[in-house]
Structure 1
Amino acid sequence: MTRSLRARFAIVAVVTALAAAGAVGGAVQGLFERHVEREMLAELDADLRFLVRVLAAQDGSATLTVQPLPDPRFQEPLSGLYWQVRHDETGTVLRSPSLAGFEIPLPADSLRAGDRHRHIVIGPERGKMIVLERRVANGAGAPAGYRVAVAMDRKVMEAANRAFVMDLLPVLASIGAGLMAAFALQGAIALWPVQRARQALRDLRAGRRDRLGGALPAELEGLAADFDGMLDAQRHSTRLARERAADLAHGLRTPLALLGARTRELRERGEAEAAAAIEAVTAGIDARITRELARAHIRGPGPRSGPTPLAPAVARIAGALARMPAGGDLAWRQAIPPALLAPVDEGDLTELLGALLENAAHWARSEVCITATAEPGAVVLLIEDDGPGIPAQHRAAALARGVRLDPDRSGTGLGLAIADDIIRAYGGALRLEEAAQGGLRVRISLPSQN
C-alpha cells in the first residue's frame, strides 16, 4: 500500500466513483428493464384483447374479421411480434405472417374461458419469448376451445435495454466524474491541515515561529502540544549541553595556563625539547577548546535565528578589522545589496564573518573583496583576497580543526573550520576556490528561508 495520502485518496475516489456509477447504472437499468417488460406486457395484453374481439368462426374454422392487425410487425416475418389461434380439438392453427410457418409451442394448460396465462417459450429463432394466451368464451363469436395467444421475442426488450444503456453511459460517466471531482475537493480539504502543518514546521525551522501550537486544526491540538513539549525538552537539553561544554572548556583553561607556565620554566632551565613537547600538546588542546567553545555558542536555526541584514554586519566587522594592524593597510571592497538578508542568527553571522574576514586580512597583500547575491533558494557570499591562496590539494585539510598550512605564520588554524561548523549548522555549504586575483575565494551558500 502506498504511503502517499494523496494516492490513497485517489484510489478510494476512483474505486468509489466506479462502484457508485456501476451501482446506479445497474439499479436504473434494472428499473428500466422491469418498466419495459410491464409496458410490453401491457401492449401484448392490448393486442390479445383486440385479437379476441376480431376473432370469428366460419364453417367451423377460426378467422379474423379485420385483416391485418393494426401493428405492422405482425406482417413482417420474424419481426419478434406474433399471434396464434389454435383449436384444441381439431388442431387447426391460424397464425400471423410474422411466424413464417412456425407454431408457438403452447404448454399443456387448463384455461377457463376468460382466463389469461403467461408463459416463457422458445421462439422461431431459438430465443425466448413471452406469451400471453387466453381461451375465447362462447360469447366472443367463436366456439369454446380456441386458445388465442400473442407473443413477443425477448430480443425486442433486449434491444430496448441496450439502447437505454447506451444512452445511460454518458450520464453514468458524468456521475463518476462528478463523484471523483467531489472526492478530489474533499481530499484537498482533508489534506489542507497537513500542508498547514508542513508550513508551520518550515516556519519553526526558519525561526519565524517558536512553537507549533495554534497552527494546526483543533483535531490535531494534542499532537501540537506533544510536539511543543518535546521541542521544549530538546531546547532545554541543548542549552544544558552547551552550558556544560562551555563550562568544561573554560575549566580547562586554568590547567592549560599552568602548563604554559611550566613550559616557560622548562625552557628557562634549558630543557627546550621537553618544553616543545608540552607546547605541542597544549596547543592541540587549546585549539580543540577554542573550536568547542565556538560550537557551543552557535545558535543554529531556531526561533530566534535570522534573517539578519548582511551589508551592515560586513561593514561593521570590516571597519573593525581596518582599524587593526593586520587590516589597516588593506583595501576593503564591499558589493552587497542593501536589502539582502542572511538567513543566519545575528550572533552566528558575526562569528562567521569575523572568522572569515580575519582569515582574509591575515593572508591578503593589498585588498579583500566581499560580494553577496541572492540566487534561487540560496544566499551566496563570496570573500576573496589577493594573498597566496591555498592549493587545490590542501583545501580539504584547511577545513580540518587546528590545521595550519603555514607554521611560520601566527594563528590557530581554526578560522575556516569554525566558519564551516556555523554554515553546516544552517544547512549551507562552504567551498574554497581560487580567486580572480590569485588568492583564496571562500564561497558560502546558505539556503534562503522563503
Structure 2
Amino acid sequence: MTRSLRARFALVALATALAAAVAVGLAVQGLFERHVEREMLAELDADLRFLGRNLAMQDGAATIRVQPLPDPRFQEPLSGLYWQVRDDATGALLRSPSLGGWEFPLQADALRPGERHRHIVLGPEGTKLIVLERRIDDAAGASARYRVAVAMDRKLLEAANRAFLLDLLPALAAIAAGLGAAFALQGAIALWPIRRARQALRELRAGRRARLGQALPSELGGLADDFDALLDAQRQSIRLARERAAELAHGLRTPLALLNAQARALRERGEAQAACALESATAGMEARITRELARAQIRGPAPLSGPVLLAPVVARIVGALARMAGDDTVAWRQEIPAGLTAPLDEGDLVELIGTLLENAARFARSDIRVAARSRDGSLLLLIEDDGPGIPPQDRPAALARGVRLDAERGGTGLGLAIADDIVRAYGGDLQLEDGAAGGLCVRIVLPAQSGTPPVSDRPAEPRPAAAQRVAATAVRGP
C-alpha cells in the first residue's frame, strides 16, 4: 500500500467513481429493461384482445374477420411477433404469416374463459418467446374451445436493451468523470490542512513562526497544542543547557587560572619544560571551553526577532574595530546595499561579522573589504583583506577548533571556527578563498527567508568574553 495520501485518495476516488457509474448503469438498465418488458407485454395483451374480438366461426372453423392485424410484423416471416389460434375440439390451427409452419409448444394447462397466462417457450430457430394466451367462447356461446396466443421474441427486448445501453454509455462516462472531478476536489480540500501544516512547520523551522497555534484545523487542534508544548519543553531544555554550559565554562575558568598561575611559578623556578607542558594543556582547555560556550549561545534560525538590516550592523562593528586599532593605516570598504537584510538573529549576526572582521583586522596590511548582495534567493557575504592569506592546504585546519596558524598575531585560533559554526547553524556555507588583493576572502552563502517572523520571547543569554567585547563596542557605534 502506498504511503502517499494523495495516491490513496486518487485510488479510492477512481474506484468509487467507476463503482458508482457501474451501479447507476446497472440500475438504469434494469429499470429500462423492466419498463420495456412491461410495454411489450402491454402491446401483446392489446394484440391478444384484438385477436379475440376479431375471431369468428365460418363453416364450423375459426377465422379472422379483419386482416391484417395492426402491427405489420405479424405479416413478415420470422419477424419476432407471432400469433396462433387452436380449436381444442377439432385441433384446427390458425397461425400468423410470420410464424410460417411453426406451432407454439404451449403447455396443457387449464384456462378459464377470459383468463390470461404467460409462458416462456422455444420458438423458431431455438429462440425464446414470451407468450400470452387465453381461451374464448365461440360465437354461439358454447363453452370455451379456442386457445388464442400471441408471442414476442426476447431478442427484440434484448436489442432494445443493447441500443439503450449504447446510448447510456456516454452518460455513464460523464457521470464517472464528474464524480472523479468531485472526488479530486474533495481530496484537495481534505489535503489542504496538511499543506498548511507543512508550510507552518517550514516557517517554524525557518524562524518565521514561534508556534503552530491555529495553523492546523480544529480537528487537529490537540495535535497542535501537544506539538507546541513539546516545542516549549525543548526550548526550556535548550535554555537550561545553555545556562549549564555557561556555568560549567565559568566554573572551569577558575581552576584554569590556578593552573596558569602554577605554570608561571614553575617557570620562575626554572622548570620551563614543565611550565610549557602545563600552559599547552591549559591553552587547549581554554580554547575548547571558549568554542563550546560560543556554540551554546548560537540562537539558530527559529524563531527570529525580525529581519536585520546588514549595513548598519557592519558599520557599527567597523567603527568599533577602527577605534580599537587606533590608527588610519587600514582602509575599511563597505559595499552593501542599504535595504539588504540578513536572515540571522541580530546577536548571531554581530558575533559572525565581529569575529570575521576582528580576524581580518589582525592580518590586514592596508585594506579590508566587506561586500554583500542577494543572489539566487540567498545572501552572499564577502569579507576580504590584503594580508598574507591562508594557503589552500592550511584552510581546513583554520576552521578546526583551537588551531592558530600564526601564533605571533595573538588570538585563540577560534574565530573562523566559531564563524563556521554560526553559518552552519543557519543552513549556510562558509568557504575560505584567495582574495582579490592577495589576502584571505571569507565567502558566506546564507539561505534567504521571506516575511517578517514573530517576535521571539526568548531571554537574552550571555556570550563568550571575546564576542561580548566586540559586540558591546559595536553597539555604541563609531
Secondary structure in structure 1 of the residue aligned to 2:86? strand
Secondary structure in structure 2 of the residue aligned to 1:252? helix
Name the counterpart of 1:298: 298
Give 1:288 shift. Answer: 0.5
Query: In the aligned structure 1, how far is the partner of 2:431 from the partner of 2:48?
Result: 99
What's the C-alpha RMSD, in Å, of the aligned pairs? 2.3
* 2:332 aligned partner, one-letter code: W
Give 1:28 shift. Answer: 1.6
Name the counterpart of 2:33: 33
Secondary structure in structure 2 of the residue aligned to 1:380? strand
* 1:215 aligned partner, one-letter code: A
**8 Å CA contact 2:371, 2:383 repeated in 1:** yes
* 1:222 aligned partner, one-letter code: G
Name the counterpart of 1:138: 138
Name the counterpart of 1:416: 416
Secondary structure in structure 2 of the residue aligned to 1:237? helix
**8 Å CA contact 2:379, 2:446 repeated in 1:** yes
Name the counterpart of 2:462: none
Greater mean alpha carbon deviation, residues 43-52 or residues 404-413? 404-413
Going from structure 1 to structure 2, the CA distance change for 1:124 and 1:418 (only over 3 Å counts) comes to same
Q: Which TM-score applies when normalising by structure 1?
A: 0.92
Query: In the aligned structure 2, how far is the partner of 1:74 from the partner of 1:13?
Result: 51
Name the counterpart of 1:193: 193
Going from structure 1 to structure 2, the CA distance change for 1:110 and 1:309 (only over 3 Å counts) comes to same
Name the counterpart of 1:308: 308
Going from structure 1 to structure 2, the CA distance change for 1:437 and 1:89 (only over 3 Å counts) comes to farther
Query: In the aligned structure 2, how far is the partner of 1:400 from the partner of 1:243?
Result: 25
Greater mean alpha carbon deviation, residues 75-84 or residues 327-336? 327-336
1:158-210 superposed Cα distances (whole Å, 9 cap, x missing partner) = 11112222222222222222223332333233223223323332333333332
Secondary structure in structure 1 of the residue aligned to 2:445? strand
Q: How many residues align?
A: 450
Greater mean alpha carbon deviation, residues 321-330 or residues 18-27? 321-330
Going from structure 1 to structure 2, the CA distance change for 1:336 and 1:327 (only over 3 Å counts) comes to farther
* 1:18 aligned partner, one-letter code: L
Secondary structure in structure 2 of the residue aligned to 1:299? coil
Name the counterpart of 1:208: 208
Give 1:90 shift. Answer: 4.0
1:341-360 superposed Cα distances (whole Å, 9 cap, x missing partner) = 11110000100111122222
Gaps of 5+ in 2: 451-478
2:78 matched to 1:78? Answer: yes
* 1:374 aligned partner, one-letter code: S
Query: In the aligned structure 2, how far is the partner of 1:443 from the partner of 1:267?
Result: 43
Name the counterpart of 1:433: 433
Name the counterpart of 2:226: 226
Give 1:22 shift. Answer: 1.9
Give 1:273 shift. Answer: 1.4
Query: In the aligned structure 1, how far is the partner of 2:224 from the partner of 2:373?
Result: 37
1:7-26 superposed Cα distances (whole Å, 9 cap, x missing partner) = 22222222222222222222
**8 Å CA contact 1:388, 1:440 repeated in 2:** yes
* 1:217 aligned partner, one-letter code: P
Query: In the aligned structure 2, how far is the partner of 1:347 from the partner of 1:21?
Result: 64
Going from structure 1 to structure 2, the CA distance change for 1:33 and 1:265 (only over 3 Å counts) comes to same
Give 1:434 shift. Answer: 3.0
2:447 matched to 1:447? Answer: yes
1:131-179 superposed Cα distances (whole Å, 9 cap, x missing partner) = 1112222249999433221111111111111222222222222222222
Give 1:7-406 correspondences, 5 Å limit. 7-139=7-139, 144-325=144-325, 328-406=328-406
Going from structure 1 to structure 2, the CA distance change for 1:327 and 1:282 (only over 3 Å counts) comes to farther
**8 Å CA contact 2:138, 2:145 repeated in 1:** no
Gaps of 5+ in 1: none
**8 Å CA contact 1:136, 1:142 repeated in 2:** no
Secondary structure in structure 1 of the residue aligned to 2:381? strand
**8 Å CA contact 1:216, 1:224 repeated in 2:** yes
Greater mean alpha carbon deviation, residues 348-357 or residues 258-267? 258-267
Going from structure 1 to structure 2, the CA distance change for 1:260 and 1:328 (only over 3 Å counts) comes to farther
**8 Å CA contact 2:287, 2:401 repeated in 1:** yes
What is the percent sequence identity of the aligned residues?
74
Give 1:37 shift. Answer: 0.7
Going from structure 1 to structure 2, the CA distance change for 1:70 and 1:142 (only over 3 Å counts) comes to farther
* 1:250 aligned partner, one-letter code: H
Secondary structure in structure 1 of the residue aligned to 2:431? strand
Query: In the aligned structure 1, how far is the partner of 2:366 from the partner of 2:152?
Result: 109
Query: In the aligned structure 2, how far is the partner of 1:226 from the partner of 1:183?
Result: 32
Q: Which TM-score applies when normalising by structure 2?
A: 0.87
**8 Å CA contact 1:48, 1:149 repeated in 2:** yes
Going from structure 1 to structure 2, the CA distance change for 1:304 and 1:93 (only over 3 Å counts) comes to same
Structure ranking higher on relative contact order (CA contacts 8 Å, 6+ apart): 2
**8 Å CA contact 1:137, 1:143 repeated in 2:** yes
Give 1:272 shift. Answer: 1.8
Query: In the aligned structure 2, how far is the partner of 1:32 from the partner of 1:404?
Result: 93
Query: In the aligned structure 2, how far is the partner of 1:326 from the partner of 1:127?
Result: 117
Going from structure 1 to structure 2, the CA distance change for 1:153 and 1:440 (only over 3 Å counts) comes to farther
* 2:128 aligned partner, one-letter code: K
**8 Å CA contact 1:37, 1:157 repeated in 2:** yes
1:35-90 superposed Cα distances (whole Å, 9 cap, x missing partner) = 11101100111111112222233334433222222212222222222222223344
Query: In the aligned structure 2, how far is the partner of 1:142 from the partner of 1:93?
Result: 19
**8 Å CA contact 1:57, 1:141 repeated in 2:** no
Query: In the aligned structure 1, how far is the partner of 2:78 from the partner of 2:390?
Result: 101
Secondary structure in structure 1 of the residue aligned to 2:57? strand
Secondary structure in structure 1 of the residue aligned to 2:110? coil
Give 1:436 shift. Answer: 3.5
Going from structure 1 to structure 2, the CA distance change for 1:68 and 1:242 (only over 3 Å counts) comes to same
Secondary structure in structure 2 of the residue aligned to 1:132? strand
Give 1:375 shift. Answer: 3.2
Greater mean alpha carbon deviation, residues 60-69 or residues 273-282? 60-69
Query: In the aligned structure 1, how far is the partner of 2:292 from the partner of 2:100?
Result: 108
Going from structure 1 to structure 2, the CA distance change for 1:140 and 1:67 (only over 3 Å counts) comes to farther
* 1:204 aligned partner, one-letter code: L
Going from structure 1 to structure 2, the CA distance change for 1:141 and 1:173 (only over 3 Å counts) comes to farther
Secondary structure in structure 2 of the residue aligned to 1:362? helix
Name the counterpart of 2:460: none
**8 Å CA contact 2:77, 2:99 repeated in 1:** yes
